[in-house]
Every structure is written in C-alpha cells, then in structure tokens.
A and B are shown apart, each in its own frame.
Chain A
Amino acid sequence: MPLIQVTDLIKTFKDGEKETRVLKGIDFAANEGEWISIMGRSGAGKSTFMYLMSLLDEATSGEIYLFGKDTHSMNAQEKTGFRLNELGYVFQDYALLPDLTALENVAVPLMMQGKYKSEAYKEAKKSLEIVGLGTRLNNLPSQLSGGEQQRTSIARALAHKPKILFADEPTANLDNESSETVMKLFQEVHKQGQTIIMVTHEETFSKFSERVVTLDDGKIISDKPAS
C-alpha cells in the first residue's frame, strides 16, 4: 500500500468571479522510504500540490489517502492531530516562531504530543545536535543565520519522527554552502528510511532524490527516477 495515494486531484482558486484551476486532475503515489522531488516552473502548481498532500490546504475535488486513510473524511481537528503526529514540515522561509529559542521551537510540537517540558527539551536538544546546532540551543531565530534557521526548522520537523517529511523549497533562501548542508541532512535521514517529499526548482538538488515528478500547468508531465 502506498504511503500517499492521490487520485484526480483538482484545486481551483476563486477571486470574485474569476476561477483559476491550479491543479487539473493529478494522480500520484508515493511509497514508504522514497525521496521524491516535485519540480516545475513557477506557477506550475508544485507548492499547491504539496500543501494539499500535507493537509495544509483543502482540495477542490479528488482524493488523498495517507497511510491508507481517506483525508477527505477528516475534520480540522483530526487533520491537526495528523500533522502533529505523522507529518513534518520544512518551509522555504524556515517558519520559526520568533519568540521562542531554537530549543523551544523544536520542543513545542513534542509538548503538544503530551511530553513534559523536560522530556521535550531533551529530545529537542538531541534533534538540534543532529543538525549541528548543539551550541545554539538558546538563541532566538533572529540570532541565527539563514542556514542555522533552516537547520532548526529541519530539527523541528524531524524531532517527532514523522512518517513523511514535506519540504517546500528548503534551499531557496540559502547560500550554496548552507544548501549543501541541508541536502546532506536530508540524505542522512533518508538513509535511515525517512520518506521525503521535496518541492524544488533547482535541478542540482533534485538529483539528491530518487524520483523526480515534474508539473506543468497543473498536470504531471513526467514522473521518472532522478538522473
């Protein structure tokens, strides 16, 4: 059974009378342990596709099954719980909470899972050490470089051991060196069996993955192994 099963996925945005169909009937499946890059030119619908699969947005029509569960039947609360326990996110702009230190940012989802602060901090610290930020635990996001912020974001996404890691242009705001570091981190977790769905427009980084799905004008135009 695929980890993700998408059938005839359609997403339409409305702006008054005007309707824009961004995804035009996508069929897609991802298996456990795969690292898939979603590519395409700007406006192709790749981020929208990822947001729908990761339950951050609602499809206009079509079906999304995660781990065999129909996500359409889930209410908002169930989706939130699903995101908390099963999915991890890395955003283009890091999406860290500015009032919280690196350690606190990583610990928050763990605390939401019911862990006590001390336990959550312990696991968060471990996660931050894995991404090389063991000495920056008590720094606020504003005191970290872009690369460090993205690594904090990765630590947060992985701390609770999600089944799928979604990454939306994780290297878009980073310099080459930081981008390499992020990709190496992804490689390491992928080696340990982590499923990764990554949106990127940079071919250099899509080569790290095993499979590249290319979108154009709301449709998948190719789905092939990374070269």
Chain B
Amino acid sequence: MLQFIRLGFFLALRQVRRASKWTTGLIIFVMTLTFLNLVVVPGILVGLIEGAVSANKEYYTSDILISTLEKKNYIEQSPLIENIIRSMPETLAVSPRYLSSGTVEANYKEASKEEEIDSAGAPFVGIDPIGEDDLTGISGFVVEGEYLAPGDYDQILLGSYLLTEYFPVETASFPTLDNVKVGDKVRISIGEIKREVTVKGIVKSKVDELSYRVYFVDTQFRDLIGRNDYNVGEISVRLKEGVDPNVFKEALLRSGVGEYARVQTFEDAQPKFLKDIKDTFALLGNMISSIGLIVASITIFIVIFINAITRRKFIGILKGIGISGRTIEASYVFQSFFYAACGSVIGILVLYLFLEPFFLAHPINFPFSDGILVAPLNSTAIKILILVVTTIIAGYIPARMIVRRNTLDSILGRN
C-alpha cells in the first residue's frame, strides 16, 4: 500500500543526490530567500512598531503605569499607593511623577509686547532624578547639557520637541522655541506662578512622551504646584523578571488602588495608534510576503516543470516498466519538500543565529523608533508550513501534468 511512498522517496533521493549541485544549490538559495522574505519583511515592519512599543515601555510606562482617574489632576492617596507598591515583593523600582501643564517662554526679556514672546506649552513633570533614571534611564537621552541632580533648583530639562532646532515643524497648535540653548534662562508659567529657570539639558528620545516634556526636580516642583500632600500625577513601576504585569495589576486593583487611580499594564497604556499601526504593518508585511510566496511557488513550479519535461522520457520509461503514476508524482513531491525544507532550515539558521541578534544589537534607525526584527517561533513555524505546503503543491502540479501524458509518447519523445 505504501510502497509508492517508499519508492517515490527512493527515486527522489537518487535524483536529488545525482542532480547538478549548482542547480540544487540555486533552488535551495531561492527557497532560503523566499523563507527570509516571508519572515523578515513582516518581521521588520512589525519590529518597526514593536521598537516603538518596547521603547515606550522601557523609557516611559515601564511594566505598570498608574495614572489619574478621569477629571482628576492627581492621584489621591499617592503616598499610600506608593507604599503598597513598594511593599509588594514583585516590585523592582518605582518612580512617582508630579504632573502639571505649563508654558515655557524664551525671549521674554527682549520682547516689547506680550504677543512677541516666544512661548510653548508643555506638560511639566517633577521627578526624583535618581529614581527616574533607575527606572527609565532618562539620563541617557540628554543630548545636550547635563541631567538633573537631586539638589538642583530652578534648573530644568527641556524636551527636544519644544525646540525649533530639534523639531523644525512649527504649527499654531504646536509652537516651538527658537534659539534656546543649554545654559539659557527661560521663564516658566504654571497657572499664576512665573519663574525664571535655567535650561540644564535637552532630552531627545523617539518616545514622544519624553521629548515634549519639561523636567523639574520633584522637591521644587511640588512646591511650585502646591502639592504638599505628595499626591503625584503618575507612577511607573518596574517589575522583577518573569512577573506577569497583568497579575500585578490585578493584585493592585484587589488592594483598592483602582478607587484612586487608573492602573494599566504597559500594553494597556500603549497609544491606540501604535496598536493600529502594528496591525496594519503586520497585514502589509503579510501582503508583501504573500507576493514572495507566489513568486517562490512559480519558481518551484517552473523548476519542477522543466525538470519533469526534460525527464519526460524517463517518466515514460518508469510508467512503461510498471511504476505507478502516483509513485512518480510522490518522487517530485519529495523533491519539492526537500528544497523547501533545506531552504527553511538554512533560513532559520540565518534568521535566529544572525539576523535577529544583529537587529537586536543594531536596531534600524527609523525616525520614530529603533526597529528590531520580530520573528516569534510560532509564527515562523506557521510560515514554514505555508512555504512547505505551497512548494509541495507547486511541485506536484507539473509532475502530475507530465505523468498524465501518454506513456509511449513520453518514451518516444512524441508530442
């Protein structure tokens, strides 16, 4: 019953073994490229967004982000919540941030009229410089000047999006400041309070939240906004390795934190457009790689067809001496499988031993993210399956076309 498989495999093995090494190598090379096209193109497109998502988590939200309830300007019972978080064994680091909105003015000394003042509105953030840096590594994004120190007073870090030099796209709704350098004095306004401060450094990151904020040391900022109750605007929490953020979130909600604040995992806190773009790019990637798959199928079809056509006489002889059509078809199916399997194996080695580590070490410098290559094993396995099945079909069809021809015509080379 299964001898057609055994003999088909036997014939395929001999044919592959004794085929031209160049031809076999070329077919496997095409299959490898197809596999990489299937995995790498969507992987980079998804990785482009994944880079933004992971940067958002790494440098802003951390694993858990606790923020204000709707219509509230601060998180009530912040010190209590902070204590709860710090007492939980899963917590690795915590950074509470005071939040307020305000305005930064640049040329207020030279301007003769109020309208001539160069100003930009921005979220103001009061941070514990050491705690925040431990959690998000923000000091690494200071591209000019220096990072804040705990004792700094009347000194700020400016997000690069607030400066024309770094963000030369000024619109009415998003004004930027001209000619502001590190060491310059600027005037900040929070409600009625105005204060002259020095720009200690510029923060530039591909995470938007970091680049359009103005940073103060928390001790001074608390006084400026009058938050003597120590209630902050947001708290980022880094969890220990292996802790599921969802489990931690549930634990916080069970302890009543939800009454005073919104508790989100980093995934919940992702901007919606990132999620949408991620899905869109995944779809786009799949569409592009589908074209690659079609090209590969046609390639295999042509290769097997030419192979079968040039071997038509031998297919005829096989049929003539009593070898069944499905044995001959099986031999071509095995050959197709061999090419697809070899291409996939080499592709996997290139992908996981070279490309993925390479892109992790050297992310692609996209304007809004550091793109990595996202190739999870389960989706790669599905793509291998698709490639193998497509290749087998592409190999089977031409083999069947030739096998179905008249035996004697094939032996004698008659049309």
Which B residue's beta carbon lies closest to that of A85? B322
When A56-B407, A97-B314, A114-B3 are in contact, do A84 and B323 touch as well, CB less than 8 Å?
yes
Interface check A227, CB cutoff 8 A: no
Q: Does B18 contact A (CB under 8 A)?
A: yes
A108 within 8 A of B: yes
Count of interface residues, chain A, beta-carbon cutoff 8 Å: 32
Q: How far is the CA of A220 from the CA of B3 in the complex (A)?
A: 42
- Inter-subunit contact B3/A99 (CB<8 Å): no
B321 at the interface (CB under 8 A from A): yes
Interchain CB contact under 8 A, A99 and B15: yes
A109, CB-defined interface residue at 8 Å: yes
B3 lies within 8 A of A111 (CB): yes
B120, CB-defined interface residue at 8 Å: no
B406 contact from A57, A85, A87, A157, Cβ within 8 A:
A57
Q: With A57-B408, A97-B314, A97-B318 in contact, do A80 and B14 touch (Cβ < 8 Å)?
A: no
CA–CA, A82 and B324, complex, Å: 11
Partner of B321, one of A77, A108, A140: A108
> Is B320's CB under 8 angstroms from A56's CB?
yes
CB nearest to B414 among chain A residues: A13
Interface status of A95 (Cβ within 8 A of chain B): yes
- Known: A97-B314, A97-B317, A98-B314. Contact between A108 and B323, CB under 8 A? yes
CB-based nearest A residue for B12: A99
- Rounded to whole Å, the gap between the CB of B340 and the closest CB of chain A is 21
Within 8 A of A (CB), among B381-415: 406-408, 411
Check A84 against B406 for contact (C-beta < 8 Å): no
Expressed in whole angstroms, the minimum distance between the Cβ of B281 and any Cβ of chain A is 46
Asked if A95 and B322 sit within 8 Å, CB to CB, the answer is no
Interface residues of A in 70-112 (CB under 8 A from B): 76-77, 80-85, 87, 89, 91, 95-100, 104, 108-109, 111-112
Docked-complex contact A95 and B411, CB < 8 angstroms: yes
> Which residues of B have CB within 8 Å of A82?
322
From B14, B18, B320, B323, A112 is in contact (CB under 8 Å) with B323
Q: How many Å from the CB of A169 to the closest CB on chain B?
A: 13
A109 with B3: in contact, given A95-B411, A99-B14, A99-B15 (CB under 8 Å)? no
Of all chain A residues, the one with the shortest Cβ separation from B19 is A99
| A-chain residues with CB within 8 Å of residue B312 when the two chains form the complex | none
Q: Does B10 contact A (CB under 8 A)?
A: yes
Query: Does A95 lie within 8 Å of B10, measured CB to CB?
Result: no
Bound Cα distance from A114 to B17, whole angstroms? 24
Residues of A14-72 whose CB lies within 8 A of B = 51, 56-58
> With A56-B320, A80-B324, A81-B322 known to touch, is A108 a contact of B408 (CB < 8 Å)?
no
Known: A57-B406, A57-B408, A97-B314. A117 touches B322 (CB 8 A): no
Cβ of B182 under 8 Å from chain A: no
> Which residues of B in the span 2-56 have a Cβ within 8 Å of any Cβ on A?
3, 6-7, 10-11, 14-15, 17-19
Contact A56 B6 (CB under 8 A): no
Whole-angstrom distance between the alpha carbons of A114 and B361 in the complex?
56
* A89 neighbours in B (Cβ, 8 Å): 320-321
Chain B count of residues within 8 A CB distance of the other chain? 25
The listed residue with most A CB atoms (<10 A of its CB), out of B3, B317, B406, is: B317
Question: Does chain A have a CB within 8 A of B327?
Answer: yes
Is B292's beta carbon under 8 Å from chain A?
no
- Interface of A toward B, CB cutoff 8 Å: 51, 56-58, 76-77, 80-85, 87, 89, 91, 95-100, 104, 108-109, 111-114, 117, 140, 156-157
B249 interfacial contact with A, CB 8 Å: no
Q: Which residues of B contact A76 (CB under 8 A)?
A: 325
- Check if B319 is an interface residue, CB within 8 A of chain A: yes
**Minimum CB–CB distance for A77 against chain B, Å:** 7
Give CA–CA (A51, B19) in the complex, Å. 31
Closest to B315 in A: A97
The 9 closest A-B pairs by CB, nearest first: A84-B322, A83-B322, A57-B408, A99-B18, A95-B317, A56-B408, A99-B14, A111-B7, A99-B15
Q: Is the CB of A80 within 8 A of B7?
A: no
Is B10 touching A117 in the complex (CB atoms < 8 A)? yes
The answer for the CA separation of A80 and B406 in the assembled complex, in Å, is 12
Point out the residues of chain B lying under 8 angstroms from A104, CB to CB. Answer: 14
A76 to B404, CA, bound (A): 10
27 sample A-B contacts, Cβ–Cβ < 8 Å, listed by A number: A76-B325, A80-B319, A80-B323, A80-B324, A82-B322, A83-B322, A84-B322, A84-B323, A87-B322, A91-B317, A95-B411, A96-B317, A97-B317, A98-B18, A99-B11, A99-B15, A99-B18, A108-B7, A108-B10, A108-B321, A108-B323, A109-B322, A109-B323, A112-B3, A112-B327, A113-B3, A140-B18
Report A40 CB to chain B, min CB distance, Å. 18
Looking across the interface, which residue of chain A has its beta carbon closest to that of B409?
A57
On chain B, the residues within 8 Å of A114 by CB distance are: 3
